[in-house]
Chains A and B, each alone.
Chain A
Amino acid sequence: MAETKAAPPALTRKDFISDQIVRWCPGCGDFAILAQTQKFLPTLNIPREKFVFISGIGCASRFPYYVDTYGFHSIHGRAPAIATGVKCANPDLSVWVVTGDGDSLSIGTNHLIHALRRNIGINILLFNNEVYGLTKGQTSPTSRMGTKTKSTPYGSIQEPMIPVSIALAAEATFVARTFDTNLDHLSEMLLRAARHKGTAFIEILQNCKVFNDGAFADITERSHREETTLTLSHGKPLIFGKEKNKGIRVRGYVPEIVEFEPGRAPPEILVHDERHPDSSLAYLLSKLYTPKFPAPIGVFRDVERPTYEELMSQQIEAVKKTRPADLQALIAGSETWQVPAQRDAEEGA
């Protein structure tokens, strides 16, 4: 027993499965993400009680109920705000926000971009299925032009938002994209997010079987995945295609695809640099999307900046060193006067 006290038994996937029945529709992409997360969490060697999963409203936001950690299923769009309070209160916690495209790119966009610009130490998993699922099928801020839904029977007439572009524009320090059926890649992204100091943002392309089935088939389908995705890898040229015969170069400010003979990539092919202090190139990559380009998968950006909670603690500690916490002195302030116990008869009265 002595040994187990010194080193508690390592956690397993089972430790992160709650006793709640998972209530997503059969075939939902969320199942794979949940399973992969439960499998990945034990690998972080963080005690289970230190994890907090916080969500808003939507299908994805039911996630916390199914993970046996601390969890908070909050209100629509507000998860990053609540997570900010949790992380400020206890920077020691590993805080995860689970959200969807409606939750954090419509009603909660303000909180999302401000969390990112503050670089608060939370991990944001945005399940993007390009549709409102829980309200039964309306257009979402990521739905593509022309998408027919219950609320847009003649097709959507709004330009979609690109989650990764939004995150980069908000000066996020870690931005990645992955998808629900690519489990190894998903795991790798989760791990990198967990290790990142500051806000980590992952867009997870996720299929909605009921209301938007096959929304990402043009990108993620195994049969053509190598042609329609571009796997980002730091320090490596941006090459894709089954034959590894295509690459991305920039002419003027405009990216374009160049084809070449396999193994003979021309030097103007862009080399990925996720650590570049300037987010411009990452932003340019975020604009590559189907159908004109392969959709980049992987880490767009991974840079270091002090976190909000660190700076908050530093200020408090610095002030504490110079001024004692004397409550009596605080409430007295600098301008006081004494009313004596026995007062002389009022003069001249």
Chain B
Amino acid sequence: MADTKPKPVETLESVTIRFAGDSGDGIQLSGTQFTTATAMSGNDLSTLPDFPAEIRAPAGTLPGVSSFQIHFSSKDILTPGDEPQVLIAMNPAALKAHVKDVVSGGILILNADTFTPQNLEKAGYKSNPLEDGSLADYRVIPVPLSTLTANTLEDTALKRTHIDRCKNFFALGIMYWLYDRPLEPTLDWIQKKFQKMPEISEANSKALHAGYAFGETTELFQSHYHVGKAPIKPGKYRKITGNEATAFGLIAASQLSGRTLFYGSYPITPASDILHELAKHKNFGVKTFQAEDEIAAVGAAIGASFAGHIGVTGTSGPGVALKSEAIGLAVSTELPLIVLNIQRGGPSTGLPTKTEQADLLQAYGGRNGESPVAILAPATPSDCFDMTIQAVRIALKYMTPVVLLSDGYLANGAEPWKIPDVSSLPPLPRLNASDPDGFFPFKRDPETLARLWALPGTPGLEHRIGGLEKADITGNVSYEPENHERMVHLRAEKIQRIAREIPPTEILGPHQGKLLVVGWGSSYGAIASAAQNMQKQGLEVAAVHVRYLNPFPPDLGRILKNYEQILVPEMNLGQFLLLLRAHYLVPAVGLNKVKGQPFKVSEIENKILQMLGKKETSDGGNKSRAARANA
């Protein structure tokens, strides 16, 4: 090893890598570690973890395949990359599930030890792809990962099964060499994680080093790659996922408002990590409550809010369905409530671990009666922090439920985050009622229409609230026709007034022109990238991303009128599109994808080009395939 000459280094602007293997292969862990090392290297990055709903589907089968994609660059990037240039497949099933996504000419690093007749059969291969020429389009690098790891660790006292589990670190070592990543962050992590198991800690570290050395010495790689630091704004950074940012946003809002955070939740993918994160931070006085069901979780949050806490409940679409009646109660009683919906594929149980944006109309109208709530949607993982604080601010200021629509892609996806200075965050004041003189529970602030928040325990403000219609001002039960109509309008008007809180909409690109792409939620990265690429081609294409979905930003209507065509890409069958068309009477068109996967930049680009007459069809490939199938 000592004699090897250093191999040449090639510089690349961006790379997209996908790790894939069995759920038990430590794929998510490898991806996360690679992400940290990449972040520490100063690249811009974006990730897309993708894993099955089953904890351990049968090893070696297609349903058991878990993957993690990372896109990193010396330039500013917004998406986890359309097509990986490199696929690390830990077994034939992983190869089979992912090879079709790899760019032609891309690198396949395959664990050669696993390409046994038995595993090939499990993956549904009729012949061995390493031998049958089917991978001729790619640079195939077969590495006997299991054997190499076993050789590396043969001197240890570990059992063979434990040794084999270290192979993901061996593979990671190869990738660190190949892409010039530092080992230290992962070595530190291993040491901390396996503090109580020194043998395992040592074995993993050894495997990582050995993988790195293997890359350096093996004839399989002629060169390795360098991706320079990205021109990021100076400051202190960390990597953050959407769920982490959401949890931190809640704690920050609690600190900024001086109110205790109460988080009622019931375990559900992909929202549970928020409960886990919050449960750790009791030093901030956070009260987490794992309830008996979704309804109790929201019920307890409403109760806590009645008593003056920031009541929050977090779930995914099926959980929101169960909470609907209680959210209506919070609308009727006009209590602050934050409902986090980390959306996933539906209907019903749907695709628990895959992303979708199909709960917008559920948030908008999924309750009985006229039951308006504010709806906010973060655009990126780190944006979850700001939008969560904003959700709390609106809930407290307007005494209303606010639904925050995140999704599986934001929840688990990571990006670098310039850590904000918390002293620069504006406080969230909200006074409790205290003066019994002229007190009525439904007396409203003339500006916001928020009613008074009178907490149990306050002398002289004893009052009753509930789900029955209340008389304006006094809050007594009232079935009066005129009163009901007035209250319905007041609740609707209160939500509309939230528009005053919405900052001017940012337009990416020309302020008028041929085409405007309007998006919401997690598709921001793909939409913004597509619009930028179109602009580079000299096309009059702009993009706006709507973070406030009820009410809409006050300037949105005017913006929409400035373009000849409007395109609305979303991961559903056109829910935002429906609302936009209804609100603004604009002939917007949808681009809809419901595959449990985020948009690729190219998918949006193709649609734009088609709409501008620069391309015949947006999905020529699919169409011709369909035509062939029908023929």
Question: Contact residues of A with B, CB < 8 Å?
Answer: 18, 20, 47-50, 52, 54, 64-65, 68-76, 78, 80-90, 92-93, 110-111, 114, 312, 315-316, 319-320, 322-325, 327-328, 330-333, 335-343, 346-349
Contacts and interface: CB of A to CB of B under 8 A. Distances in A.
Contacts of B333: 72
Contacts of B119: none
Interface stretch (B129-137, B166-174, B294-302, B594-602): B294-302
A348 B11 contact: yes
A86 B335 CA distance: 13
B300 A88 contact: yes
Interface stretch (B90-98, B195-203, B223-231, B615-623): B223-231
Contact of A336 (B238, B295, B309): B238
B252 interface: yes
Given A86-B304, A89-B307, A332-B419, A339 B232 contact: yes
B311 to A, nearest CB: 7
A337 B304 CA distance: 38
A333 B419 CA distance: 10
A73 B307 contact: no
B46 interface: no
A347 B42 CA distance: 13
A88 B36 contact: no
Contacts of B466: 64-65, 71-74
Contacts of A114: 291-292, 296
Interface of B: 9, 11, 36, 39-40, 42, 74, 185, 226, 228-229, 231-239, 248, 251-252, 255, 260, 262, 264, 281-287, 289, 291-293, 295-297, 299-309, 311, 325-326, 328-329, 333, 385, 418-423, 455-468, 476-477
A87 B287 CA distance: 12
Given A20-B476, A65-B477, A68-B462, A325 B419 contact: no
B300 A339 contact: no
7 contacts: A18-B464, A49-B460, A70-B457, A85-B262, A89-B262, A336-B237, A337-B238
Contact of B464 (A65, A327, A332): A65
Given A88-B262, A331-B419, A82 B74 contact: no
B464 A70 contact: yes
A312 B287 contact: yes
A84 B289 CA distance: 10
A296 B87 CA distance: 72
B296 A111 contact: yes
Nearest to A57: B467
Nearest to B332: A75
B326 A346 contact: no
A313 to B, nearest CB: 9
A336 B419 contact: yes
Contacts of A349: 11, 74, 228
A89 B231 CA distance: 46
Contacts of B9: 348
Nearest to B36: A335
Given A85-B302, A327-B252, A348 B422 contact: no
Contacts of A346: 74, 228-229
Secondary structure call for the B interface: mixed
Given A331-B419, A332-B236, A49 B457 contact: yes
A19 to B, nearest CB: 8
A64 B464 contact: yes
Given A20-B477, A49-B460, A72-B465, A338 B329 contact: no
Nearest to A345: B228
Contacts of A65: 464, 466, 477
A90 B308 contact: yes
B41 to A, nearest CB: 9
Given A316-B285, A346-B229, A81 B295 contact: yes
Contacts of A84: 289, 296, 299-300, 303
B14 to A, nearest CB: 13
Contacts of B255: 325, 327
A49 B459 contact: yes
Contacts of A337: 39-40, 42, 236-238
Contacts of A111: 292, 295-296, 299
Nearest to B238: A336
Given A88-B300, A114-B296, A330-B251, A335 B185 contact: yes
Nearest to A348: B11
A348 B228 CA distance: 8
Nearest to B245: A331
- Ranked nearest first, the 4 interchain pairs of A and B with the lowest CB-CB distance are A85-B303, A73-B466, A81-B299, A85-B300
Given A64-B464, A82-B300, A316 B307 contact: no
Contacts of A333: 238
Contacts of B292: 110-111, 114
A73 B468 contact: yes
Given A73-B468, A82-B299, A335-B40, 18 more contacts: A49-B460, A71-B465, A71-B466, A72-B333, A73-B465, A81-B300, A85-B299, A86-B456, A88-B287, A90-B457, A110-B296, A316-B286, A322-B283, A330-B251, A331-B238, A337-B236, A340-B234, A349-B74
A246 to B, nearest CB: 41
A1 B476 CA distance: 34
Contact of A339 (B237, B248, B459): B237
Nearest to B248: A331
B302 A90 contact: no
B456 A90 contact: yes
A70 B235 CA distance: 50
A294 B238 CA distance: 69
A72 B36 CA distance: 49
Contacts of B385: 331
Nearest to B256: A327
B303 A86 contact: yes
Nearest to B249: A331
Contacts of A49: 456-462
B464 A71 contact: yes
A340 B230 CA distance: 12
B399 to A, nearest CB: 15
Contact of B467 (A74, A327, A330): A74
A68 B299 CA distance: 23
Nearest to A69: B462
Contacts of A74: 299, 302, 329, 466-467
A82 B302 contact: yes
A348 B9 CA distance: 9
B106 to A, nearest CB: 23
A331 B463 CA distance: 39
A75 B464 contact: no
Q: Which of B282, B333, B468 has the most CB of A within 10 A?
A: B282
Given A73-B467, A348-B11, A83 B303 contact: yes
A68 B464 CA distance: 8
Contacts of A69: 462
Contacts of B459: 47-49
Nearest to A317: B282
B457 A50 contact: yes
Nearest to A70: B456
A18 B474 CA distance: 13
A325 B284 contact: yes
A88 B308 contact: no
Contacts of B463: 70-71
Nearest to A83: B303
Contacts of A85: 262, 264, 289, 299-307, 309, 311
B248 to A, nearest CB: 5
Contacts of B305: 85
Given A81-B300, A85-B306, A93 B251 contact: no
Given A70-B464, A86-B303, A346-B229, A93 B284 contact: no
